[in-house]
Amino acid sequence: MPPGRLPREVFQAYPTGRRLLGRPRTRWRDYVSQLAWERLGGSPRKSWRKCLGLFLTWRDVQHLLVKTSRPVHLKADDWKTNGAGHRVSHLYGFGLVDAEAMVLEATKWRTVPPQHTCSQIPERHARYIHAGQSLNSSSTSSGCSEEPDQHVVYLEHVVVKVLIVHPRRGDLEINLISPSGTRSQLLARRLFDSSNEGFRNWEFMTVHFWGERAEGTWTLEIVDTQSTLRNPEVLGNLKEWTLILYGTSQNPYQPYSSQQSHSRMSEIPAPQEEPELDEEEEDEYIGPCHSECGDQGCDGPDPDHCLNCIHFNLGSLKSGRTCVSHCPLGHYEDIASRRCKRCYKGCERCVGRSVSDCLSCRKGLYLSTLNSSCINTCHPDYFADENQRLCLKCHDTCPGPGKEECIQCADGYLQQGWRCVQTCTPGYYAGEATGVPHKMCYRCEENCLSCSGSGRTCTKCKEGYSLVSRTCIMNASCNNADEVFCEMVRSNRLCEKTLYRQFCCHTCLMNG
């Protein structure tokens, strides 16, 4: 079962107790026993006796959940505080289950008063539901104050039973507004519900009015948002609706008379006797504690059984706490409280919870040396060092990473490859470049030591090459050349053609 989640039967709010009597009560007993075991250590059976030692009905469980659940960090647009002061949302109910708070509350819990049911049918007067409009129907209830056995003052569940005829019921939204002004959505629009059967004595239940007073005016609001899939001339019709209130005539959180308590307990089957446990199982743990446990002792041999810690306490009430000698990555050591507290998100090591308290970062992030925070992209004039996961300052000659990894050069420098230089090295020439404010060093023609630009602009060749027509060719001698051959070479300008350069002999070159 995921953390913070309960079996569905535990908080499924049925109109009567008969459908939940028996098995769900056992499920709750087992569940709370498990919570107690996680809280105190030891066997579930032992912890049940140690923690609770009492019998809870399914309604007691629901009251415990309402009282101890917390909205904490759960985000929803419809969080509201009802008339009894309970925070409630359609998406999250009353919030996350606080297991420790429930167990502690259950140890001092008194069985809630008997549940009463008050049913009221407003005037049977059919009313049309016009497309694009809302229909409000109100009913004033006294909570059946004239009938002691039905009298409801403090609400638990509220059920609305409706008889509605409609050409496309998926276009309908139904809300119920209590005398305290709390609005609960009983039914939302449904795009794919194209049924024309309407709602024939359909029951909708809500617990959003939990703890509110029942007496006053209740309003049923029906909103018809017309879709393109229906005939607008065919109207819906609210034939009748019934308001059914479930709750108690007395405050469930205050003691009530012993006569009533005895009457109520007589309705509930006595809990099955548990077999006696061995005396050895009931004894407290007397074995050695873990080396990280402090002077208050332990409930078992492991570091999560310690009652206090020598060094640091890691974890929470929900996830469980354990004693450690050093805090793991993602946490820092709070000396004052002896606790491992979480670093700011993205920090791998830190000295505090602030965004600027990071010492190192998780993979994919880099530590800014400007403000000690973990960031995705380094600031200008800084580059990301993958090995150290640091943002390091670029070399003085470039705003790129290192001395030979420049992506752009400072004023007065030329970029040659990934370096920034004051003058181009031999074999390169300076030229303009698109997209950058400085010049680039481009490579001269092959075998050329210096040139004035691209192509055949060579002014000096490497050793072993001769400069011919501003290009460099390999030195050669031609002993068998005669005037006819040289004339042919010269007249056809063969030495100027790249393909024939290496075939032109030195003699011909000197002659032509």
DSSP H helices in 210-347: 258-267, 279-282
Distance CA 212, CA 232 (A): 39
Distance CA 432, CA 445 (A): 17
Taking only Cα atoms into account, the Rg of the chain, rounded to an integer number of angstroms, comes to 43
Please give the pLDDT value at position 135: 92
Element (H, E) at 106: helix 99-107
CA 15 → CA 11, 116, 143, 248, 427, distances in Å? 12, 10, 16, 13, 92
Distance CA 474, CA 271 (A): 108
Contact 215, 92 (CB under 8 A): no
Residue 159: both structure tokens together? 């059920």
Residue 3, helix vs strand vs coil: coil
Contact 467, 460 (CB under 8 A): yes
Please give the pLDDT value at position 218: 94
Please give the pLDDT value at position 51: 44
Please give the pLDDT value at position 124: 73
Nearest to 350 by CA among 363, 362, 338, 336: 362
Distance CA 329, CA 339 (A): 14
CA end-to-end span of the chain: 96
Residues 480-484: contacts with CB under 8 Å, at least 24 apart: 481/505, 481/507, 481/508
Distance CA 215, CA 56 (A): 29
Distance CA 327, CA 353 (A): 14
| Token pair 């709070």: residue | 334
Domains in the chain and their CATH numbers? Answer: 8-107 (no CATH), 116-248 (2.60.120.260), 303-342 (no CATH), 476-511 (no CATH)
Distance CA 488, CA 484 (A): 6
Please give the pLDDT value at position 184: 95
Give the pLDDT of the chain (512 residues) as one tens digit per residue.
Answer: 333 334 333 333 333 333 322 333 334 444 444 444 444 343 343 344 344 445 789 999 999 999 999 888 888 888 999 999 999 999 999 999 988 888 888 888 889 999 999 998 876 778 889 888 899 999 999 999 999 999 999 999 999 999 999 999 999 999 999 999 999 999 999 988 889 999 999 999 999 999 999 999 999 999 999 887 788 788 899 999 999 999 999 999 876 544 444 434 434 444 454 444 444 444 578 889 999 998 888 888 899 888 889 999 998 876 778 999 999 999 999 998 889 999 998 999 999 999 999 999 998 899 998 899 999 888 877 877 777 888 877 766 564 444 456 777 777 778 887 777 888 888 899 888 877 777 889 989 888 888 988 888 898 888 888 887 788 877 754 444 455 666 666 667 666 665 555 555 444 554 44
Distance of CA 279 to the CA centre of its chain: 47
What letter does residue 210 receive in the DSSP assignment?
A: T
Please give the pLDDT value at position 494: 65
Render 348-385 in DSSP notation, one character per residue. EEESSSSTT-EEEE-TT-EEETTTS-EESSPPTTEEEE
| Token pair 């032509």: residue | 512
53 dihedral zone (left: phi>0; alpha: psi -120 to 50; beta)? left
Distance CA 454, CA 442 (A): 8
Residue 435: both structure tokens together? 């997209």
Distance of CA 195 to the CA centre of its chain: 37
Residues contacting residue 294 through CB under 8 Å, at least 6 positions apart: 306, 307, 308, 309, 310, 323
Distance CA 113, CA 96 (A): 26
Distance CA 232, CA 129 (A): 11
> What burial class does residue 359 get, using C-beta atoms within 10 Å of its C-beta: 0-12 exposed, 13-18 middle, 19+ buried?
middle
Q: Which residues pair with 259 in a beta bridge?
A: none
Residue 398, helix vs strand vs coil: coil
Distance CA 497, CA 411 (A): 41
pTM attached to this predicted model: 0.46
Distance CA 241, CA 444 (A): 93
